[in-house]
Amino acid sequence: MPLRALPDHLPQAPIAQRIDWVFEHARRHAEAFASPGAWLARQRYLAQHPTAILVLKCMDGRINIPVATQTPPGIIQPFRNLGGIFDLGWPHLGETLVAHVNKVVSAGRAGLVIVTYHYSKGDPARGCAGFHYCTDDARAHTFQIREQVRALFGGGDVPTVCPLVCGFETDEDTLVLHGEQGDTLALADLAARMTLRHAVLAWETRAMEPLGDDPA
């Protein structure tokens, strides 16, 4: 049975049986994560895609970015809070984020900070309770955090740390990327299959381009 599968009978099962299933599920996840093959897969992935990925997201368990992007577990560094509500001026959060960024940059890696909000296209009541199910408010907050990331880590034509606003549609586990001019890219609408890996690879390629005094 796939690690993410939930048996159909489980919601109606006795509470003790449901608790046992959760512990067994966690045990299998830990066993898979700690296996030599999984460790080697992570090392290979990091060698191919050196950009460090950090995600600011809601505590809602549906927001599983590694599953949605088919990224090996252990690659993406999550930061969670109720509703995905953050303020980088909070002492502990700011210190933790800066320490993590300094660590990856000292290793010669760039950083991608994905600032997320989530929503349901089928029913607003399945959206984010932290924003009282108002997607517009949740989305607006992510743009504020994006500007805080820029203020904290600087800008430039090719920044070392790049913030990206991303919507997460929980009905189908799909992503919507927000551009600088208000444009959006719904990955589910692409004709060809595209994952976050492609987006990161494109950004890495741009980041490695030399900067000249004048365009060619």
At 90-138, the pLDDT tens digits run: 999 999 999 999 999 999 999 999 999 999 999 999 999 999 999 999 9
Q: What amino acid occupies position 114?
A: I
The residue-averaged pLDDT of 81-86 equals 92
State the virtual CA torsion across 37, 40, 44, 46 in degrees, nearest 10.
Answer: 120
Q: What is the DSSP letter of 46?
A: H
Residue 4 has pLDDT above 60, yes or no: no
How many other CB atoms are there within 10 angstroms of residue 51's CB atom?
16
Task: Give the angle 11-122-19 at the CA atoms, nearest 5°.
Answer: 20
The pLDDT confidence band at residue 215, using thresholds 50, 70 and 90, is: very low
The pLDDT confidence band at residue 202, using thresholds 50, 70 and 90, is: low
The residue-averaged pLDDT of 41-57 equals 93
The pLDDT confidence band at residue 89, using thresholds 50, 70 and 90, is: very high
